[in-house]
Structure formats: structure tokens, C-alpha cells
Structure 1
Amino acid sequence: MRLDYPDPDVIRVEDTYYMVSTTMHFMPGCEILRSYDLRNWEHLAYVYDKLDSTPARRLEGEENIYGKGMWAASLRYHKGIYYVCFAANDTHKTYLYTAGQPEGPWERHYIEGFFHDCSLLFDDDGRKYIVYGNREIWLTQLKEDLSGPLEGGLHRLLVEDRDNPNLGYEGSHFYKIKGKYYLFLIHSRPDRWRRTEACFAADSLESEFRGGDVLDDDCGLPDRGVAQGPVVDTPDGKWYAIQFQDRGAVGRIPFLIPVEWRDEYPVFGDDGKIPEIFPVESTRPGYVYAPLVGSDDFKGALKTYWEFNHEPDRTLIRHDRETGIWQVRTDRVCRCLLQAKNMLTQRMLWPGCAAEVTVDGSELKEGDYAGLCALQACFGFVGLVRRNGGLFLVVRTVEPGESEKMPSEENPEQEWAAVPVGEKPVHLKLEADFSSGKDVCAFCYKEESHGRRWQKIGPTHQLIFGLDHFCGCRFGLVVYSTKEAGGSAGFREFIYRESDL
């Protein structure tokens, strides 16, 4: 997919495959994708527009939920109902959404307790279970309505990996296949950091689960192993796994892997190695998929590949669909762009991509910024600022560091250029290059008058994948105030393309 879709879960219903992935702090969240061949995917729906609307999710003050929010959802279909279950690491709640069709509408419920990286199982006898945990993987029987653990129901430790000096077992995917129970887990090799996938099997929920690693492959990227995800069958009985790999700053990218069954145990790829090329079959040959990222002229409804950085405040947004203007007004002063409300974002594409946008900063107030960013804790920004009454084009960055809150006093935001421009709109471009582990971005601009060519501005900026945000780098359209609230900026003609780097 070449995009940041970590922690996938996939099901098949008749001839259609559905995928859910971690969306963390982005809103709307919990995206559902659709496919007919397991290789090509398109957007289908978001499960929610917002969750509990906490101050941190609304970016109030200095609060945020970077690296938190929803993680590793379980997607299931049972007796005509679709289920999505996940825990949110900021509220420590477990959410359960249900719908009669994957497009929604989705109805929210809760499961009492906090179930990390959970997986639901609807057993043949009508009983319902949830499997979850880190290092210790537990199975708990749920009430009939899934509202919480069943008093007196089955509750047991399935497997454990307590002494692993790196990552212990987590990322549960639990199935009953042809009468046996299978538990798929991610962990790290104990001798060094390298993601691997394990599988354990048992004849009953009360018996011992036995197994071990089934996938230990980095696909040529040293120790960036591929792991964590589901197995799924095709209508004609073939099996595949979908697991993700860390690809640096662009994020965690899913891999499709053929699976065979030998002696009632799964064999991934070619005896645990992922083949580069293998056939896949479509249940709807010739189907044309809508892109997961792309351009937007802002005429008509907002494209589905946009997500807000946190919960938006739509009272501050004016979308003129006739002229194609996306206008954002500020209502407070904030320290840096990471706390900016109503930032529109899109995933970046591996091995490289570029975005262009036109920004009108004529209504910015003193100290206001508006432009295009590479959204990470170590962000890069190119855009306009009003300073001493005039507009300047600036590049601002935060260098990669260890702090969980960026920018920090030890790692402050830096400004690399300040070019005076007029009050007319300015065209901005941000290019990202993730090939060969470069993980860099560069900035360009041109003024609307005179048809000038793109001019590079500022340095090439280093990007990283960090646990502070725990997601891949994204393009962001951002407006924020540093001195007084009430200013605004307009965006038009967003163009997404392969990188020119």
C-alpha cells in the first residue's frame, strides 16, 4: 500500500475484504478500507467523527493526545452485524462499535475494562471472548451483550513473554479455524530489536497453546521485521496474512503474505520468508479503486482522504465550495503548530511524494502563521507569517530529539529563512524522500505574480519515526496564532504527486 496503515485487521464477507487500522489522534478516525483482491484498497468509511471530546482531544491549552487515541482495532462480522473493538490509550476505555453494514452508521458502546491490542472471538457455541495484553496474553469470556467480563466465565493466561528484553507478546489476533484455536502475536527477537510474528494453537480454550515464530523477515531492511496483523481466507480457500513493517519516517506499511497450512499449522511465505512476487486473484476483476491520497481543489465536499490532526472545531472553518477556498480562523494563541486546531492532514507515500498548495495570508494577524507542514514532532514548516505588519515567507523546523514534547527547551523550533512577500497568495511546495532510508523533506515557493519558477527555501530537513507521535509523517495544512487570536488564512488548489526529489 506504500502508506502508513499500522496494526491492520482484515475480514472477508462474501467476496469483499474489509480492513481497519490504527488512526490514533486523527479525526475522523478508525478508517475502514475495502478491497476485492487484498492488494489494492480504497476508503469505505470512518467509524467515528470524534470519541469522548476530552480537552486533550480538542487541543485545549497545552494538552494533546499525540501517540495515544485508538490503537489496534479488532474487526469482526457475526450474524449480520459488523463489530469494531479497540482501546484508547488516553481515556483507558475499551470502545465497541456496531453496524449493520460496514459503511455505517456505527453505534458506540463500551466494554468494561481496558483491553490492550484486543481481538474478539464469537465461538460456535454462542460464547464470546476477548483476547488481549502485553507480555502476558489473556483470554476473558464476555457477557452476552459484550458489555464486560462475564462473572464466573472463563478467564485465563494463554501465553507469556515476560522476560523479553525488547518487546513481549502483544497485537493479538485470535481465530477458530476448522475446530482449532489460533493466536497470532507480535514480539521482538530477544537477542536484538527485530519484530517477528508468532502463532500458538490449541484444540480447546482450556488446553495448552503451543507454537512459536512463523515469520522472521526484514525484507532487506536490517532488523526492520514484518509482523502484527491478521490472517484471512479467499472464497476459493487460499490464505494470506497482512502484517506491517517499520519503514522509517513514512510510517508502518502493510505487507501481503501468502500462507499455507501444514499439519494444521500456518506457514508464512516461503518457510517464514516473504516472497517478492506471487499471484493474487480479484473477486471483481477490472474493478477500479479510488486513491487513498490525492489532490483536492476544495470544490464540493472535502475529499475522504483528509483527516484532522485532532478533533476539529468546525465553527472556525469556512469552506467555500464554489470558489474552492478552505478558510481557517484561529480562536486562541498557541506555542507552536503542534497545538494548532483544524489542521488538515494526509498520509505521505513511500518512497516519496510532494504536495503543493496556494495560501492567502492577507487576513493573518500579527504573529500568525499559515502554511504547509511535514507533521511529526520534529516537524518542518513552510509558510507565511505576519511580522511587523508585513508578510514574510519562512521555514521553521524542529530537529529530531529524544523529548516526548516538541519543541522542547533542549530542542527548540528554528527559523531558517524569512523572505518578504506581498499580500498576494503564495504557492508552497513540500517534497519528502523516504527512499534508501533518507527520510528528508525540502521546501519550495513561488509568488503568484510574474509566473516565477519554484525556488528552494531553507535546508533539507531530517525526519524520523518517533514514539512521541507513533505514526508516519503527514502533510498538514495549518493556521495558528502566537500573539493574538482571530486571524485567518485561506487554502486552495492542493496538489498531491510523486516526489520530484
Structure 2
Amino acid sequence: MFRNPVIWADYPDLDVIRVEDTYYMVSTTMHMMPGCVILRSYDLIQWEVAVHVFDVLDHTPAQRLEDGQHIYGKGMWAASLRYHNGTFYVMFAANDTRRTYLYTSVNIAGPWEKHYIEGFYHDGSLLFDDDDRVYMIYGNAEIHLTELKEDLSGPKPGGLHRIIVQEQQPYHLGYEGAHMYKIDGRYYAFFIHISHAAGRRTQACFAADSLEGDFEGGDVFNDDMGYFNSGVAQGGIVDTPDGTWLAMLFQDHGAVGRIPVLVPLIFENGFPVFAKQAPAMIELPSTRPNYAYRPLVGSDSFHYTPDEQGEVRLMEWWQWNHTPDDTMWSVTDKPGTYRIRSGRISPNLTFAVNTLTQRTIGPACEAVVTLDGSGLNDGDYAGLCLLIGTYGFIALTKESGQIYLVMIARETEDSSLFGSLIDQEPGTEFARIPVYDETITLKAAADFTNNIDICQFYYKSRQNDEVWKPLGITHQMFYKLDHFMGCRFGLFLYSTRETGGTADFSNFQYHQIDFPNAGP
């Protein structure tokens, strides 16, 4: 038996398919590069990274953190994953470019070919019908059905276009997060929404016998698993080889992000009937019982060998915060070291280029890294962070030639989901001590048990390497729509006065910490 939610980490806006004995699941990655992660599983419970669909998206100034621009809370959202006639399709809209993207590949590992679909379609879902006509549904509160051209490049002239569902009751969030299916000759459209009556996220479904007919339905699942009135909703459904149906939805879990939950369902009289509650424990047969999954997060010694083209592919659990500047980082200049060079002036951590991140995992986790700050210039900051709008970090900095260790955090008095922070706000320095060894080991610890959402920072020097010393405050993190993403460990360097500094990171260690009865 496995805990449910099945992954206590930030994998929102899920779509899931099965191709023969293999399940694939896509998730939103917004401003992270490489982006549009697809996971692979043989039992719907244990997962590993299959591929990131793109390395970078469009190289816009905002995607590169240039000129005070960024794509926090934007980027790629809510992809639709489909497999049809031997080809994988991934469709999503990017909320910074206001474009709709279509990536295709005959192999899940790629290469993936990039296309555009004319128009911008919020939370779209693809449907390949039995007659090879192609449709998508999309929208918020008012759900549109649009037939696409045969090559999926845009709406089909004279093709079917209609509104199939409209929100009829008072709501906080209208129907969105569309997923469209044809099962046993009947059409099904699934959505998330938050009605005033429910007061939390719920899953809805509408069904029709034809695409021209009336779609009828309503809420089909309303459960928070006893967790802070946080409704489980939005995602795809999939069948197992033996005909069992399950929905892969997600649940908001505070600062760690939105995490995947499996919910059984059956079809009765042509309509889905979900389990009354999401099970706290779940077990499903594996199509490959002895398969060993690669971890979704992990440690890194930073020993890499370039390929025949001289390129280096980092471990699949790493993602850059925004598009990296490949001229300003290396893991081969000094083997065993991730080196960042400073190439521009930045006001704070959120504009630091080449910040290398990994997801945090609940109920608690720690990251440890050794930092050589001998290459820092005055005004540089380099260290280990928990990256979120309300971030915290421990870092080396230099002032008048003296190196200091500091702990900085960005706080807010507004803990609401819609509260925002000023982009240029640098955060508050809560601790500063002089250090006389330019190499130091740092630790960041995060605790997400019952939405406590706190982080703490520690250090130890080579002279006293048996004892961790805390630095600064215990910092409260809040999940907000400013970043719209769960917090992440990050290795960073940014300059506030002059460019050209360097920071060398080595021996990165990731530790997951479990507590008895801690939840998922």
C-alpha cells in the first residue's frame, strides 16, 4: 500500500494517458527550464521523469529575466497530453507570450517538434475523434468546443464551434482545467471550479452523446481528505489494462505546492461515479512489477562528461529558474563543481540568472551544499535558497573586501493567496556574521507538515565541521499567485554592484525526511 497523495511535491494541472503498459503524466512547469515535464509510471503511484518537452521556450526578454521582466506565475500552463496513431501530442498555452503551443513526437523521449496553434486557448484539451477529426475544448466559466484543421495549426474554417458548458451558479472560480474524452461512443468533459455553495475546489463532469448535443452534468467529486478544506480536483482520467478507471487530480498543500492525488471512479449509465473520498492509502497492480524507478529529486556530485557535441545534460531533477545563460555556468571548468558567473546586475534573488533548482518534497526535506566564495566581488550574493515569492536564503556576500555570511528572507503581512510582493524588494537581512574561510557548507531545511511551511538555515565551517550552527530566523513561507509554484531549493549567484564574480558549488546533498503519521 502507498500513501495518497502519491507524490508530496509540486506537480499541478495534470493530464495522464496510458500507452499499452505505460502511463505518462504531464504537469505545469511555468517559468522553469527545461519545461513541460512528462513523468512515466507502470502503476500510477510511483513515477519518474520521462522527458522535459522543451529546453527553452521562446527566448523572450522576460523568459531570460532581462530589463526587469520575468514570467513568474506565467509560462506554460495546463498541458493536454494525447497519443494518436503513433504520435504523442502536447498542447499548452503560455500566459506570458499569449500563444498556444503544440509539440509532437513519435517517441516520448523525443525529439519533440515545436508548432503553434493559431489563437490563445486557456486550459485547452485535445480530442481526436474516431473519424480523425480533431477538436479542443477550453475556457473559463464559458467552455468552448472548436474543431481544428487536420494539421492542428488553427481552427478549421467552417468547422464545429460552439459553447458546450456555462457556469450557471455563483462562483469564485468558473469551470476551467478542461479534459475531454470519448469513451464507449460518449463524450465527457471534466472541469475544476469553486462554487459559492461548495466553498472549495470541486471536480465536475458534463457528458453528451454527440458533439452537437447538450452536455449535461455537474459536480462529481467534492473531498478535501480532511486537509484544511483544500479540495481535490483538476486532472485527467485513465484506465488500467484490466479496465479499472482512476482520476489523477491535485490538491493545494501550502508552500510545497499542488500535489497529485489518485481517486477511483466507475462509469454507471454513461456517467462517471467517483469514490466518495480519496483513499488515504492505495494499491494498484504494476504492469512491470520489478521496475526500479529513478528518483524525482536527488543529490549531485557535479561530475559530468560532455557529449560528442560538447554539451552537458544535467541530472533530470534539475531545472533552471527561467531561461539560463549558457555562457555563464559550467560543470566542466572545475570538475565536481557547479560554477556560476555573474553577467548582470540584479536587485534580488528573483532576478538571479542561472539559479539551479529542485522541487521540495514533504513532509520535510533538507539540502546541503559546499560553497566556495573566493571569486565573489563586493555586492555579490551566492548561496542556498528556498525559492518562492516569500523566499529565504543563506549566502556569502562581500563588503569592502570582507566576506560575510548572511540570512535574508522576504516577508509579507498578507498571507492571502492573492497577496503580492514588489518585484524589486530585496528582502530583510536577519543575520550577518564575518567569516574568514572562503569555503563554507550550507544547509536549508523545510518543513511542510500540516501546512506549517517553515524553513531554517544552517552552516558549518571546515574548522568545526561536526556541528551545524543556525543562522537567522525560522522563516514562514506562503504559497501565492505571484510565483504560483511550490518552493524549491536553489543554488544562486547575483550581483548588486559589478559583474564578473563567480561562485563554486560542490557536493550537493538532498535528504527527504519522513515523520510517522505526517500525512501523505
TM-score, normalized by the shorter chain, greater than 0.5: yes
1:46-79 deviation line (CA, Å, top 9, x unaligned): 1001111100000002100000000000000000
CA shift at 1:476, angstroms? 0.7
Provide the rounded CA distance (Å) in 2 between the counterparts of 1:386 and 1:60.
24
Report the CA distance between 1:261 and its aligned residue. Answer: 1.3
Q: Which residue pairs with 2:480 in the alignment?
A: 466
> What's the CA shift for 1:162?
6.0
Match of 1:404, as an amino acid?
A: S
4+ long deviations beyond 3 Å:
162-165, 401-409
Which residue, out of 429, 438, 446, partners 1:424?
438
Q: Aligned partner of 1:306: which letter?
A: W
| Aligned residue in 2 for 1:404 | 420
In structure 2, the partner of 1:205 is 211
Distance, in Å, in 1 between the alignment partners of 2:413 and 2:82 is 39
Counterpart of 1:342 in 2: which secondary structure? coil
1:494 aligns with 2:508: yes
Q: Which moved more, 1:13-22 or 1:320-329?
A: 320-329
Q: 1:153 to 1:353 in 2, by over 3 A?
A: same
What residue ranges of structure 1 are gaps of 5+ in the alignment?
none
Deviation (angstroms), 1:450: 3.6
Aligned counterpart, 2:331: 319
Say which is worse superposed, 317-326 or 346-355, in terms of deviation: 317-326
Q: 1:163 to 1:214 in 2, by over 3 A?
A: closer
Give the 5 Å matches for 1:205-224.
205-224=211-230
Unpaired runs of at least 5, structure 2: 1-6, 305-312, 516-520
Instruction: State the distance in 2 between where 1:50 and 1:367 align.
Output: 30
1:363 and 2:378 are equivalent in the alignment: no
Partner of residue 295 from structure 1, selected from 282, 296, 299 = 299
Q: Decide whether aligned partners of structure 1 residues 134 and 45 sit closer, same or farther in structure 2, where only a CA change above 3 A counts.
A: same
Q: Which letter does structure 1 place at the counterpart of 2:42?
A: Y
Determine whether 1:77 maps to 2:83.
yes
Instruction: Answer yes or no: is 1:178 the counterpart of 2:192.
Output: no
Contact persistence 1:371–1:381 (CA under 8 A)? yes
Q: Deviations over 1:230-278 (max 9, x none)?
A: 0000111111100000000000000011111111211112xx3212234
Q: Show the counterpart of 1:91.
A: 97
Partner of 2:395: 383
Matched, 1:277 2:281: yes
State yes or no: 1:435 paired with 2:439: no
Q: Secondary structure at the match of 2:255?
A: helix
CA distance in 2, matches of 1:62, 1:313: 16
Question: SS in structure 2 opposite 1:299?
Answer: coil
What secondary structure is seen at the aligned counterpart in 2 of 1:249?
A: helix
User: Per-residue displacement from partner, 1:26-50 (whole Å, max 9, x unpaired)?
Assistant: 0000011100000000011110011
The answer to which of 64-73 and 257-266 deviates more is 257-266
Q: SS of the residue aligned with 1:449?
A: helix
CA distance in 2, matches of 1:108, 1:498: 36
Q: Deviations over 1:147-185 (max 9, x none)?
A: 000111100001111653300100000000000000000
Report the Cα distance in structure 2 between the residues aligned to 1:495 and 1:406, rounded to whole angstroms: 32
Alignment length, in residue pairs?
497
Question: Which of 443, 455, 461 pairs up with 2:469?
Answer: 455
Q: How does 1:1-150 map to 2 (within 5 A)?
A: 1-150=7-156
Instruction: For 1:162 and 1:71, locate their aligned partners in 2 and report how far apart those are by CA, in whole Å.
Output: 26
Q: Is the 8 A contact 1:431 1:499 kept in 2?
A: no
Is structure 2 residue 231 aligned with structure 1 residue 225? yes
- Asked if 1 retains the 8 angstrom alpha-carbon contact of 2:174 and 2:195, the reply is no
- CA change 1:374–1:101 in 2 (3 A) is same
Of the three residues 446, 457, 471, the one matched with 2:460 is: 446
* Counterpart amino acid of residue 388 in structure 2: Q
SS at match of 2:164: strand
CA contact (8 A) 1:138 1:156 kept: yes
Q: Which residue of 1 aligns with 2:165?
A: 159
Cα-Cα RMSD = 1.4
Cα distance, 1:192 vs structure 2 = 5.5
Structure 2 distance, partners of 1:445, 1:353, is 16
Residue equivalent to 2:499: 485
Is this contact kept in 1: 2:77–2:123, CA < 8 A? yes
1:261 aligns with: 267
Asked whether the equivalents of residues 400 and 462 of structure 1 are also in contact (C-alpha less than 8 Å), the reply is no
TM-fit CA distance, 1:405: 4.1
Distance in 2 (CA, whole Å) between partners of 1:52 and 1:408 is 24
8 Å CA contact 1:244, 1:255 repeated in 2: yes
1:252 aligns with 2:258: yes
Q: Does the CA contact (< 8 Å) of 1:298 and 1:321 recur in 2?
A: no
CA contact (8 A) 2:412 2:421 kept: no
Separation in 2, partners of 1:118, 1:457 = 46
